[in-house]
Chain A
C-alpha cells in the first residue's frame, strides 16, 4: 500500500494543474482530543471526560476492526505541525486542494456524534462538529463546503439541526452513515428526509457507522477487509430499504448520494429490485414505479473506491448503465485507499463525460455556480 501511495503522489501533478475537479469526499479531522470543547456545553465536556462515548459497538477507543493504517489514513498525510492526518487546513491545501486544482471540496466528518447510544450527546456533538466545520474549514477556504452532521437515531432532533443550518451556504448536504439501528428507509429517519428536502439539500449516505447489528446478515466477520468490502453490501441494503419503504415516492425532490461504497453494484441492485418488484409489488403498493426509476432520478454515487476490473474498460459498461451524469469524483483524502484523480478513469472517455465526472455533476448537485 505504501508503495502505491508513493507511485500515485508522484504522478499527481501533470494532469491536475490543467483541469479543475470536485472532491466529494474529504475527511477533516480534529487536531486534538478536546478541539470540539469550545462548541460543547460544560455538561457534555464533563460527560466526555468521565464517561466517554458509548457507541453501538463495544470499544471505548478505536474501531472494532483495526484499520490497515493508523487512523485509516495515508502515512504521508501527517501534517508537519503535528496532529493526525486530515487535521491541518494548510497541509490539506498543500497536499490535496492546490496540486489537484480542487474547485469544490465536500467535507464529510467521521467519528463525530453519530452512532452513539446517548441520543442527547449525539445531538450535541453533531451540532458542535457543524460549528467546527465552519470555524476551522469553510470560513477559511471557500473551496471547501461542509456537510450537516445529524444525530441519526433521533429523527426529530436531526431535523431541527438541519432546519437550523438551512440556507447557510457553508453547508451543501446532510450527512448520514449507512449502518444505523434500522435500515435507512424506516420511518424513524423520515424527519431527516423531510427537512433535507425542504432545505433543498441532498442527503449523503457515507459508508460506516454503528447501529448494533452484525455487519453481515450471517453475523460478525473476522477481518477488516470483510468490513471494507462489506460496505457496498450495507449500502445496497440501505438503498433497497429507502426504495421499498417508499421514501423516494414520499419525498420526490429528495436527492441521495451514496458515498464511499463503490458504484459497480448499482445496476445489478436496480435490476434485481425491478425484477422482484414485478412479482411482489402487491406487498409494497406505496412503491408505485419500478425501483430503477427512483434510483435513476434521485440517487448519485461518489466514485471512490472505484471498482478495479482486470480489463479497466469494463467499467465503462457499468458507468453507462448508471449514467455518466450520476457519478461524483471523490478521493477520500486522507484515507489510505485514496483514489488519485489522474489515474481513476481509463482512456477513451469523451470530454463532456470527463468534465461531468470530475466536476460538472457535483457543481450541479450541490448548487455551486459555474
Chain B
C-alpha cells in the first residue's frame, strides 16, 4: 500500500445518531411532543442496515450501539492513527426519507445542532456537513444560512437519490446559497427511497442497492452538467462521496460523445463536460472500486488526466479496507500528497 502522510483531511466519516431520542434535546416542544406522543421509531435507512458487513469494519464495530456513535472510538480508530488534521462528518441519519417538510426541517435542524454540540465542540479536528430538508427549498436555504455562521460547517450534504435529479432548476437556490457561502455541496451515496433505487425498478437485495449507488452518481452528474448548474454557478464545487471512482472516465467519454452530438438541446452548457468535471467536481477515495493490481490503478488515474479529482476518505466506519490500507497500492508520493492534503484544501475553502 502507498504510505499515508500526517496532516491529511478525511473527507468522509460518519458519526451515528444513537437513536431518534438523541435528537430530543435539539427539538422544540412541539416536535419533542410529536416524537414521543406518536411513538416515532428510529430513522434508519435501508441504505445502511446497522448489522450489514459493509456498514462497519469488524474491528470498528462496537459491542453495543451503532457503529460510529462514539467520538472516542472515532478518535481511536481514525483521527489518531491516520494522523488527520481534519475529518469531515457526514451524518447518514434517515431524515431525508421523511415526506413532511415541517418534520424534515425540524429533524435536520436538530441533527445539525446535535453534530455541532456533541461532535464538533468535542474535537477540534472535526468539521461538519449541513444536512438539509430538501422537501422545501426555502427551508433548505434557511438551514444552510443558519448553519453557515458556524465556520466549522464546511459543506452542504445531499443524498445521491432524492426526489428529483439534482440538476433540476427548482433546487438551484440551494446551490446559489452554497456558492455564496463558500460551501461545496457533498452528494453522498444513499437513497431517500422516494423513487425505486435503480432506473429499472426495485431490486431484491441490499447488495443491489449498494452496487447501484454508482449508477445513481452517474445519472446525477449528467443532470448537474446538462441542466447548466456550473454555467450558472461557476464557483460551486460538488463532491461525490462514497461514489466509487473507477467508472468516472468511461462515463465521461460517453457523456462527452453525446454532448457533442446533441448539444443543441442544452446550449447553455458552454464547456465540455470533461472540463466541467475537472474544474467543479471531486470524488472521495473510498470505496476504491478497482482491482488491487497497481498497473490497473495507474491506468485509471491516467485516464482521468488530472491529479486533482480525488479526495482522501476512510468512509469510517464503513468496511472498505482493512488495517491502515486506505490508500490503494500504486499511488505515487506526489499523488498521495495531492489526495490527502492539497486537493481537500483546494476544494473546501472553510478548512483554512
Which residues on A are within 8 Å of B, measured CB to CB?
A: 1, 4, 68, 178-186, 211, 213-226, 228-230, 232-234, 236-238, 240-241, 244-245, 262, 264-265, 267-269, 271-277, 279-280, 282-284, 305-311, 314-315, 317-318, 321, 336-337
Contact = CB atoms under 8 A, between A and B. Distances in A.
A58 B112 CA distance: 41
A244 B274 CA distance: 32
A181 B287 CA distance: 30
A217 B211 contact: no
Given A68-B265, A237-B215, A271-B246, 6 more contacts: A229-B258, A240-B212, A276-B211, A280-B210, A307-B250, A308-B256
Given A183-B203, A219-B195, A276-B207, A68 B261 contact: yes
Interface in B293-352: 296, 299, 302-303, 305, 319
**Closest 8 A-B residue pairs measured CB to CB?**
A264-B250, A237-B198, A307-B253, A233-B215, A268-B247, A216-B219, A308-B257, A268-B246
Interface string B191-234: 10011111111111111101110111011101100110000000
Contacts of A181: 201
A237 B212 contact: yes
B257 A275 contact: no
Contacts of B196: 213-214, 217
Given A245-B204, A273-B211, A307-B254, A224 B262 contact: yes
B222 A230 contact: yes
Given A225-B265, A310-B305, A244 B204 contact: yes
B203 A277 contact: no
B204 A186 contact: yes
Nearest to B318: A279
Nearest to B216: A217
A1 B194 CA distance: 37
B269 to A, nearest CB: 9
A286 to B, nearest CB: 10
Interface of B: 52-54, 160-168, 191, 194-208, 210-212, 214-216, 218-220, 222-223, 226-227, 244, 246-247, 249-251, 253-262, 264-266, 274, 287, 289-291, 296, 299, 302-303, 305, 319
Contacts of B194: 219
Given A186-B204, A218-B166, A222-B168, A234 B214 contact: no
5 contacts: A218-B220, A226-B226, A271-B290, A274-B291, A280-B207
Nearest to A337: B261
Nearest to A277: B207
Given A180-B201, A232-B254, A217 B212 contact: yes
A317 B303 contact: yes
Nearest to A311: B305
Contacts of B200: 178-180, 182-184, 211, 213, 234, 237-238, 241
Nearest to B209: A217
Contacts of A224: 262, 265
Given A241-B203, A276-B54, A280-B207, A229 B255 contact: yes
Most buried by A among B53, B191, B200, B258: B200
B262 A233 contact: no
Nearest to A4: B261
A216 B266 contact: no
Nearest to B296: A321
Contacts of B299: 317
Contact of B261 (A183, A269, A336): A336
Contact of B201 (A213, A308, A309): A213
